[in-house]
Structure 1
Amino acid sequence: MTIISNKGVVLKAHPKGMPKVDEHFELVDRTIDIENLKLGENEFVSRNLYLSLDPYVRLTLKEQEPKHERTINKASKKQLVQIGQIIIGAGVSEIIKTNNPNFKVGDLVYALNLGWEEYSHIKSDATSNFFFINKDLLKDIPLSYFASFIKRGGLAPYVSLKYIGKPKEGETIFVSAAAGFVGQLVGQIAKIKGLRVVGSAGSDEKVDYLLNELKFDAAFNYNKVELDKALYEYCPNGIDIYYENVGGETLEVVLNHCNLFARIVACGMISQYNITDPKEKYGVKTLENIVSKRLYIQGFVVTDYIGTDIEKEYEKEIIEWIKSGKIIYKETIFDGIENVAKGFVDMLNGKNIGKYIVKLADY
């Protein structure tokens, strides 16, 4: 094998506010000589096939501030990307060279810590974040689905709704950012469980998708209606489960509409991710509802469940739902490493319906 291209996306500058493609990201031309690359013990090389573009990556692009050092745990510090470093996300790869007895050439793997690059040299301390893909499933399910949906991406809505939301048939769930990747799956799983599902989205096109394709019971464009009025109209009996993807003012309003003993699943707060000055963070003013309504609020980190029996339970159910048509999954696939940064920024700006995936190579 000769020296080949290994382009990658590095952090050019730490974003303050919404990232910009040319200002904060740089596509660098690099090469890799796989044939002559010497691997250390338990190392391997992956040919990266699909990358998943996820909101949480924005949190890794922050500049570390020493004055807040005590508020950042060691794991979070380690995940922060430094200027000039390859940005890390999730995706699907094929092992093409290995010095690890647990991985062989030709294995397909899902990775939590895959670089935004065409090929990755995986060091021994990172191999625990790679998980095998059952090739037999590819007869029924596209490989791109494994970049997020079948693995961590789908596990997040499944486990959080089931074990934190504790849905009961006939209840009402409100899902913010419902046309996004997580939101669309939460809504569909909730329908399977017999809930009344209401979602908000940022365009009429997204609302149409929620109502006519995903069969939500109600949906509205939050850019056209006042949230408080919309919740009175579409959740007339109150909210039993709120699936939180937005934070800020949305959370503040929703708390007023929650029923007694409502459960709030805190998956993300994307409205706050691009705020770098703590003084500019939105201060929620309706927290007294937590006490008076005895609300249950819990956040979660999906990596806590990877490799557990819950993950096995999830994969069995989700694959059955896909095959039976109970779950509709919408993804937009971009081609080429050169489209990673633009796709990521577009996703943060809410342009996506469903999941953004970047295809780097054919399999």
Structure 2
Amino acid sequence: MSVRPRAGRQPDLARLARLHGTPLLVVDCAVLRAQYRRLAAALPGVRLYYALKPLPHPSVVRTLGVLGAGFDVATTGEIDVVRAAGHPGSCCLHTHPIKKDADIRAALRRGVRRFVVDNADEIVKFRPHRRRAELLLRVSFRNPTALIDLSRKFGCEPGDAPVLLGLARTLGIRVRGLSFHVGSQVADADTYVAAIESCAGIMERSAASGTALDVLDIGGGFPIAYGTPVPSIERLCAPIRRSLRRLPAGIDVLAEPGRYLAGPAGTCVCSVVGRARRDGRWWYYLDDGIYGTFSGQVVDHVRYPVDSLGVRGRRESSVLAGPTCDSYDIVGEDVRLPPLAIGDLVVGRMMGAYTAASATDFNFVPRARIVAVNERQGG
């Protein structure tokens, strides 16, 4: 659902809660636009493909598509979200390295032409589709300092790249370039720089062997502040820019931001539906929790800034519990809150990424409704 607050105003969360009920995930498209423009300015000349995985919502796709974004997709369902929002499949990059043949065929039928692979079996899968598809070879660069090391599950070793490129050449499959992803919530540019330099060497050797590569996808991982400081995007990207400038002329550089765009745009609004005094502390039971929008605390390993909305009073250590009949469903064990009553609102900030997208139907508790605001440019 999309609503339009008065232009230039922050979303009135209490009003939206009265209008739509709770729980809500409010997506502020004005924040999406600001994040996109800031990252684009920090990485000039880099084509940004929004990774749908953190928040595959039509309002997000429409907002970023207007700004010129492409879309990083991993499933047929994500492609369908992009197309339903008015964008052709040709603006998508299919980045899941492991696919069924049915997945490849479904993507091709929907207009997707560029796919990521990372091993010989996946390259061979494209032999029947070699006239319609082109590939990027994903290279692994392990990063133990990342919140989630995405090269643990995907990517070939840099030393294996020449053999895989040779296999594709033998099969008549066009490989356009390389891709990598240094991990999630990365606060240091060193791994990006090392990966770019390594890929530059692979591309140089590939050209000498007869396969010219002209695309480099540097992935995502750009961090946001959940309550602890992270480098500004300008500071993080400065050494990345310098490294990209050393690439040979004519290389088309892509990136796959997800969390950086969606995270700050999302605010969770939930209600206190019950309370109890236990062991000297208030327990407040919410209509959203770990199995719902706060699922990112489990699957994404982050803690969101949480506070009451419009309630004053002396703050004390409190427990926030979710709505399911499961003792694991605890949002926070030591949250400093004023005294709350049933019906009061609790708000979680920076909750656009890996929240609603990973929510479940456990206990048949309804998921949060997603409400987009400021989708029009004036907002």
Larger Rg: 2
Flag the structure with higher helix content: 1
TM-score normalized by structure 1? 0.31
Which structure is higher in RCO with an 8 Å CA cutoff and minimum separation 6? Answer: 2
The two structures have a TM-score, normalised by structure 2, of 0.30
